[in-house]
Structure 1
Amino acid sequence: MSPDAVAIMQQIHRDSWFWILLFFVLSFLLTKNGKTKFLKITHGLLRLVFIIMIVTGAGMLIAYKFPLAYMVKGVLAVLMIGVIEMVLGRARRKERTGPLWGAFVFLLAMVLLIAFRVITF
């Protein structure tokens, strides 16, 4: 894969994290306020960005020849996606989301620490 293609994937992947956090917070707030029409839009966009993030992440894993740290980061990111979906689902059903928020913050911190090479192995 060309270095330009990898650079483009890195930029798209990096930007997708911003959009994921934005659409997640918007979806959660819309759930709490009962705005179901806009919630469907933001949740759909959130899922679209999940797919973009997974595809670009997999592409970079292939380009970098599967380094262990980034494989762990990918697994943690997929777990974080699951936690995000659980938070939104429980919020929609008006169930407790506190422990899931703790898991989300932990997973987000771990993913960012690995991404910025604070944690290496």
Structure 2
Amino acid sequence: MLDIMLNIHRSVWLLLVIVFVIAYINLTKGKEKGYKIPHHIARLFYVLMIVSGVYLLISYGFPINYTVKSILALWLIYLMEVILGRTKRGELTGSQRTYYWVQFAIALILIIMIGYNVIL
């Protein structure tokens, strides 16, 4: 069961990032329907990712590296919602956009590196 949840978790992460990028691109192009559907799919993937992540965290016994990864993952979900929400409302411009996208990139890279045991 652990291997199945690990594969689900990894797959959902990949799909989540792809769907997020699709939603953002459609949002910046002004395609309302092309934004709403991927955004709702991303929210479903947030739930799947959190459930599978909690299961894995409990199964592994809360090691520090995966606990840090969990905190970063929650931060990344927050950043995804902020980027999409503020862009939709027209509040994310200039240096704020750069600020959030840099945080997004750093968090995503750290999560991937911790998940594949490159660091920590």
The answer to whether the superposition gives a TM-score over 0.5 is yes
Are positions 1:79 and 2:101 aligned together? Answer: no
- Give the equivalent residue in structure 1 for 2:41: 45
RMSD, aligned CA: 0.8
Instruction: Report if the CA contact (8 A) 2:57-2:67 is conserved.
Output: yes
Instruction: Report if the CA contact (8 A) 2:69-2:114 is conserved.
Output: yes
Partner secondary structure for residue 56 of structure 1: helix
Distance, in Å, in 2 between the alignment partners of 1:111 and 1:75 is: 10
- Give the equivalent residue in structure 1 for 2:58: 62
Amino acid corresponding to residue 116 of structure 2 in structure 1: F
Q: Which aligned pairs between 1:1-121 and structure 2 lie closer than 5 A?
A: 5-94=1-90, 95-96=92-93, 97-120=97-120
1:8-32 Cα shifts (integer Å, max 9, x gaps): 0000000011111111110101111
TM superposition shift of 1:33: 1.1
Amino acid corresponding to residue 67 of structure 1 in structure 2: P
1:24-78 Cα shifts (integer Å, max 9, x gaps): 1101011111111121110000000010000000001111111111011000000
Following TM superposition, the consecutive aligned residue runs of length 4 or more in structure 1 with deviations greater than 2 angstroms are none
Greater mean alpha carbon deviation, residues 48-57 or residues 89-98? 89-98
Instruction: Report if the CA contact (8 A) 2:27-2:34 is conserved.
Output: no
Partner secondary structure for residue 117 of structure 2: coil
Greater mean alpha carbon deviation, residues 88-97 or residues 60-69? 88-97
Tell me the TM-score normalised to structure 2 length.
0.93
Q: Alignment length, in residue pairs?
A: 116
Distance, in Å, in 2 between the alignment partners of 1:119 and 1:56 is: 21
Distance, in Å, in 2 between the alignment partners of 1:103 and 1:93 is: 20
